[in-house]
A and B are shown apart, each in its own frame.
Chain A
C-alpha cells in the first residue's frame, strides 16, 4: 500500500486528477480549484477516488494539515502510486497518530467505483460494495 491502514466510507469519485495544494482547502475539506469538475465537493470522511494525483509538491503538507484539522478524506484510491501523498500520510501518522490509507487500484476497479458507493481499503486491496 502507498500508505498503510484500513477504511470504509462512501466514495468521492473525481473526474479529473486533483492537486491537493491549491485544490483542497484544509480548513473546510472542500475542493477549491474552480476549474475542477468536483469544485465545492467536500472530501472529509469520504474515500477519494482519482486516477492520479497532480501538480504541486506541496500536497503532502495539505494532506497532513487536513488530518490535523479533521477534514481529511477517510482514505484515497489512486490509479498509480504517489510518493507525495504517501509522505503526507506518513507524517500525519507520525504527528497525530491518524492513518489515511492510500491504495492503488487497477483501472478496471477504478472505473467500476461510482460516486457515493461504499468502498473498502485494507491490506487485501480495494473493494466496492
Chain B
C-alpha cells in the first residue's frame, strides 16, 4: 500500500499511519475492526484539499466506518444561518467522506447506534474526543486519541500503530481521583453534577489514564457520556475508569491492574462549585436560547426533555435547540416524541451541532446549556455567553424566558 500499488490515496493514508507509528514509537501495526471519522467537519479549505486527494487517489475504507458531525444539517439545511458558500463547502466535505465508503451517520455519539458499538477489548480507530473517551471507558474498546486525517487514514488502511491505549498495560489507571465525602447525596441525582465532575477531572488529569472513585455504582450511559465529554474538553482525557460503572473497573484494584497509582487527588465540593460557576455562571436574567444534546441526545434524553416540557411552549423570543443524530431522530419521529418536542417549539437539529456551525438565531447569547462541552467551547467558537445548568433548569429557563437556576447548588 505504501508503495502505491493500491493507488495514490491508500498510499497517502499509509504514509500517515506509518508517521503515527514513528511518533508513537510503535514497532508494528495492528488491524482494526471499525473506525469513527471526525474529519468530515469543515475546518477550511485544507480539509477539502485532503479528502479530494484521497478520493481522487482511489481510496475507500477497508473497515465499517461511521461519520462524526459535519458542518451542515443535511436533513434540515434551512437551519444554516451562515455564509451559503461556506455551507456548500461543508456539505461537499461530508459528501466526499460518503464517497470514501463511510456510513452517513453524522453523529458525535456513534455509540448510541446499536450496530456501531465495538465490544470489550475490540481494536478500533475513533476520532472525536467524547466518542474516544466513551469507546475506551464505557465500552472497553481500544482506541488512541485519533485526530482529523488520522482517523480516515486508519479506516482506509485498516491499520493503526500498536501503541498507547491499544495495549492492555497502557490502560492502567495512573492517577486516582476521589470524590470528596461531603458531596450532598441529592447532588448525585442531578444531571448537571456529571459534566461538572468531568470539567474538574480533565483539568486534574490532563492526558493521563485516571480512575474516578466515589460515584454510586452503575452510572447510566447518558451521565457517563456527559462526564467524559466534559473531561475530554478541559483535558486530553481518552480513558477514564469510573469505578463501579465501567467494564475495566469493577474495583479500583482492577482499574490499577493490581499496580500502584502515581498520584491521587481529591475532587472537592469547592472545586465542583467553582467549575460550575466558571463554565457559565449568572450572566443576567434573560436568555435568547437553550441548547441541549451535546454530545447528541439519546432516545432516552429526548423523552426526558419532552417530559420536562410537558406540552408547555418555549417562551417568545427564545430558541430551544436539541441536537441529536439522524438515526435517533428517525426513532423519535416514529414514537411520536419528535412531534411532542416540536409542539412545544423545540428545534431538532441533526448531522451537526449548534456550537460548531451558524445555527442559533442570536449566537452571542446568553445561551443556556446542560453540556460541559458546549459551555467550554461555545464562547471561543461562536462567541456565545453561556449559562450552565441542568437539563431541567435549561428547559425551565426556555419556558420562562429567563434563567431559572438553583443558587444553592452544591451546598448541604
Contact = CB atoms under 8 A, between A and B. Distances in A.
B377 A87 contact: no
A52 B50 contact: no
Contact of A86 (B20, B41, B207, B381): B20
B380 A33 contact: yes
Interface string A42-63: 0000000000111111111110
A11 interface: no
B50 A55 contact: no
B16 A32 contact: no
B350 to A, nearest CB: 19
Nearest to B150: A87
Contacts of A67: 46
A86 B21 CA distance: 11
Given A83-B20, A95-B49, A57 B145 contact: yes
Contacts of B245: none
Contacts of A95: 46, 49-50, 53
Interface stretch (B124-132, B309-317, B391-399): B124-132
A96 to B, nearest CB: 8
Given A55-B236, A87-B16, A95-B50, A68 B44 contact: yes
A57 B148 contact: yes
Given A56-B233, A81-B24, A65 B44 contact: yes
A64 B147 contact: no
Contacts, number: 128
Contacts of A58: 38, 41, 43, 147-148
B243 interface: no
B44 A26 contact: yes
B23 interface: yes
Interface in A77-98: 80-81, 83-84, 86-88, 90-92, 94-96
A124 interface: no
Given A52-B207, A83-B150, A86-B23, A68 B49 contact: yes
Given A86-B23, A87-B20, A54 B206 contact: yes
Interface string B137-162: 00000001111111101000000000
B380 A53 contact: no
Contacts of A91: 16, 46, 50, 149
Interface string B39-66: 1010111110110010000000000000
A64 B50 contact: yes
Residue with the highest number of chain A CB atoms closer than 10 Å, among B39, B45, B153, B380: B380
Contacts of B127: 57
17 contacts: A33-B379, A52-B236, A54-B236, A55-B233, A55-B235, A58-B41, A61-B44, A61-B148, A64-B47, A81-B24, A84-B150, A87-B16, A87-B147, A88-B148, A90-B15, A91-B50, A94-B15
State the 5 A-B residue pairs at the shortest beta-carbon distance, nearest first: A65-B44, A84-B147, A61-B43, A60-B147, A64-B46
